[in-house]
Amino acid sequence: MSDQLPRTIPSLLRATAAAHPDTEAVVDGTRRLTYADLEREVRRVAAALVASGVDPGDTVAIWAPNSAEWIISQLAIAYIGAVLVPLNTRFQGPEAEYVLGRSRAGLLLTVGEFLGRCFPDLLRRDQVPDLREIVTFDGDFAAFLQRGGGFDQADARADAVRPEAVLDLMFTSGTTGHPKGVPSRHGDSIRSFRYYAGNLGIVHGDRYLLVNPLFHTFGSKAGVVAALTAGATLYPVPVFDPPAAARLIAAERITVFPGPPTIYHSLLQLPDELRRSLHSLRLAVTGAAAVPVELLRRMDQELGFDVVLTAYGLTETIGLVTMCRVGDPPEVVSSTSGRAIPGLEVATVGPDGVPTPVGAPGEIVVRGYAVMDGYFEDPEATAEAIDAGGWLHTGDVGVLDDHGGLRITDRIKDMFIVGGFNAYPAEIEATLIEAPGVAQVAVVGVPDERLGEVGMAYVVARRGEQVEAAALVEFARRRMANYKVPRLVEVVEALPVNAGGKVMKHVLRDRARAIAEERRTAG
């Protein structure tokens, strides 16, 4: 890779703004920012952050839906060498408190209202003692910007940022029940998503519909960073509504539209007239679930996509490990998640750590520049995840073919995916066990026609007490993001366990699938 290419977010922003000052960078409703505008707005927010006492390496959190302000703030935090901590907009108060407290974020940028919830009101300030200030994009953000004054200090900070500096700290729930922080670096993030943009074919002038949430790498890296490397225009969307998205695609001639398979299914269900207006679409990347060949065919013939690729990644690898290449046949795109991106090695190993042969399943392991150094302040979890040879053990099971194509055959331990969002049973169980009357609980994922999968909870009540399914669901809704809340609950006498006393999740999954199928056929 050429040393002349920008390797920090400030240098990348400056280079793109210099090369394409009049190209639109972000379009958010009626607000249209060129790259020159974007650079200026980033410097304004960066100056305000400096004036607010944010130092290099400090953590700043964003808890808000997709917007121009989110993108500007994301880049401004990076501009001064601070560290972004994104929060899932579906979080309930205790979930947000944990991430804020664990990351020691001193400043939170958020919104006063989103989908009927006031995010600041969900927080108990005594639970986040390091949080000095909350600023709302839809409230006191204008006053916040007035603090900044000149740009000199912010620009000096930008000059000092190095490729090895930490860019963000993203929290992944993993399988322990508590989210773990994963730091990624400026240079590594740009390297991965410059390749992503180039491989997919994103170019200057492309118009990129950003429905993937910015709190996830699919939004902040595959969206913002990839677009910056190419000089593309971003259209952040806070909530995906298929008819509204279709009208925006038609009006703005959107060309790039990555997302989980569910969004394409939604577009295909639109009336013919709306579907026929989507002919500007050209590029898509999908994943997070199996992608049937029939869906790829319909995306080509009915939605107009020229290129549809699949990819695989984890937060621990900056969101990208493997990717299909342009020209791969539909059967390859449908059945694999592509091949390792340059600079990464992918292998499959057995329980003994010995590599499994081509065509044989094994745990997927990854090594290379994109693999995290370790979980944030968690050496024990790091030692469990990364072996002495530097291989990250993903917990996913897969098969490699003769060409290095990776097919995922099982999910990361017990994880299931609800509408594109990873749901981890251990985290859900840790919340449900606190519900009144609950002695034991086990959560598994079951198929769902609309969301792909949803959670089902098996609950054992305490002796002499009762647990009502509706009450348990309501308890869960108050404490966790909606996608994590089990849609099905069954109260049982006991959970099935093996000789070692471990709950046999495969037995529960089989039972849950049968129950879900009975409900589907009955309904």
pLDDT confidence bin for 1, thresholds 50/70/90: very low
Q: Is the pLDDT reported for residue 2 higher than 60?
A: no
pLDDT exceeds 60 at position 451:
yes
77 vs 75: CA distance, rounded Å: 5
- Both structure tokens of 442: 């086990």
Question: Cα-atom radius of gyration of the chain, to the nearest Å?
Answer: 23
Which residues, including other chains, have CB under 8 Å from residue 429's CB and lie 6 or more apart?
177, 441, 442, 443
Q: Provide the pLDDT confidence category of residue 121 given band limits of 50, 70 and 90.
A: very high
Number of helical H runs and strand E runs in the chain? 18, 23
Residues 351, 343: contact at Cβ < 8 Å?
A: no
Strands (E) across 180-247 are located at: 180-185, 207-210, 233-236
- Spatial separation of the C-alpha atoms in residues 347 and 363, rounded to whole Å: 8
- Does domain 416-522 fall into CATH 3.30.300.30? yes
Q: Residues of CATH 3.40.50.12780 domain(s) within the chain?
A: 9-182, 240-413
How is residue 388 written in tokens? 């002495």
DSSP state of 282: -
**390/358 Cα distance (integer angstroms):** 22
Q: What is the pTM of this model?
A: 0.85
Range of weakest confidence among 234-238, 247-251, 382-386, 502-506: 502-506
- Superfamily of domain covering 9-182: ANL, N-terminal domain (3.40.50.12780)
At residue 471, what are phi and psi to the nearest 5 degrees? -65, -35
Q: How confident is the model at residue 502 (pLDDT cuts 50, 70, 90)?
A: low
pLDDT in tens, 227-284: 999 999 999 999 999 999 999 999 999 999 999 887 888 898 899 999 999 999 999 9
**pLDDT for residue 85 is more than 90:** yes
Q: How confident is the model at residue 459 (pLDDT cuts 50, 70, 90)?
A: very high
The CATH class of the 240-413 domain is alpha beta
* Nearest alpha carbon to residue 288 among 318, 270, 324, 314: 314
For residue 357, give both structure tokens. Answer: 């042969």
CA torsion 306-344-77-39 (nearest 10°) is -40
